[in-house]
C-alpha cells in the first residue's frame, strides 16, 4: 500500500520523530544483512515504511559475519514477537510470505524485525496507518546441519579398513 495519504514533508518529519524515539535502537547487522535490507528498501512501495527502514539502517551497528549473534533476527531465525499486543511466532524467510508460520523479510513486519534483538521494540506503521508497537520477545536460530563440532568416532581406531 502506498503512502499517498501522507505528504513527503510529513514523512520526513515523522522520520525525524521516529529516530528520536528510537535513538536507543542499534540493530546489529552484517555487511550481507545491510546489502539485503537495502535491496528490500528499494522494493518498498510505502514511502513511510521506506523512510523508517532507511532510518533503521542508519542506526545499525555493523558487525563482522563471524561474530553475528544467533540472538539477532535475520533470515532463518525463529521469532516470537508481539504485534499491537498480540503474540505471534514465525520463521523469518526471504520474500513476502506472511502466514503458515512464515514471515517474509520483504513484508512490513519482517523488515521491522530484521536486525533486532530480543527485548527490542519499535513503533511501526500497520496497514490501517496506525502506529503499533512491535516487540521482539525471543529469537532462536537453529544451526545448520554439519555446522557444529565434528565428533570423531575412535571406536575403530587402529583397525585395518576393508580396502586395505
DSSP-derived 3-state class of residue 122: strand
Other C-beta atoms closer than 10 Å to the C-beta of 10 total 13
> Is-contact 116 75, C-beta < 8 A?
no
- Is the pLDDT at 150 greater than 60? The verdict is no
pLDDT band with cut points at 50, 70 and 90 for residue 8: confident
Domain 8-141, what fold?
Chitinase A; domain 3 (3.10.50)
Averaged pLDDT score across all residues of the chain: 83
CA distance 149 to 29: 25
Q: Whose grid coordinates read 523479510?
A: 105
Is-above-0.85 flag for pTM?
Answer: no
Torsion sign across C-alpha atoms 45, 47, 49, 51: positive
> Is-contact 122 109, C-beta < 8 A?
no
Domain ranges of the chain: 8-141
- Is the pLDDT at 1 greater than 50? The verdict is no
Q: Encode pLDDT of 87-129 as tens digits.
A: 999 999 998 888 889 999 989 999 999 999 999 999 999 888 7
Q: Residue 90 forms beta bridges with which residues?
A: 79
- Is the pLDDT at 32 greater than 50? The verdict is yes
Amino acid at each position: 500500500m502506498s503512502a499517498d495519504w501522507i505528504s513527503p514533508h510529513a514523512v520526513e518529519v515523522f522520520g525525524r520523530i521516529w529516530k528520536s524515539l528510537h535513538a536507543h535502537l542499534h540493530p546489529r547487522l552484517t555487511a550481507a544483512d545491510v546489502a539485503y535490507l537495502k535491496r528490500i528498501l528499494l522494493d518498498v512501495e510505502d514511502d513511510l515504511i521506506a523512510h523508517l527502514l532507511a532510518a533503521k539502517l542508519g542506526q545499525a551497528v555493523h558487525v563482522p559475519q563471524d561474530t553475528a549473534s544467533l540472538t539477532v533476527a535475520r533470515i532463518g531465525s525463529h521469532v516470537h514477537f508481539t504485534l499491537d499486543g498480540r503474540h505471534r511466532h514465525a520463521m523469518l524467510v526471504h520474500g513476502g510470505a506472511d502466514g503458515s508460520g512464515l514471515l517474509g523479510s520483504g513484508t512490513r513486519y519482517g523488515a521491522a524485525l530484521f536486525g533486532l534483538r530480543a527485548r527490542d521494540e519499535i513503533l511501526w506503521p500497520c496497514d490501517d496507518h496506525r502506529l503499533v508497537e512491535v516487540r521482539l520477545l525471543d529469537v532462536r536460530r537453529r544451526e545448520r546441519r554439519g555446522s557444529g563440532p565434528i565428533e570423531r568416532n575412535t571406536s575403530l581406531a587402529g583397525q585395518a579398513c576393508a580396502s586395505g
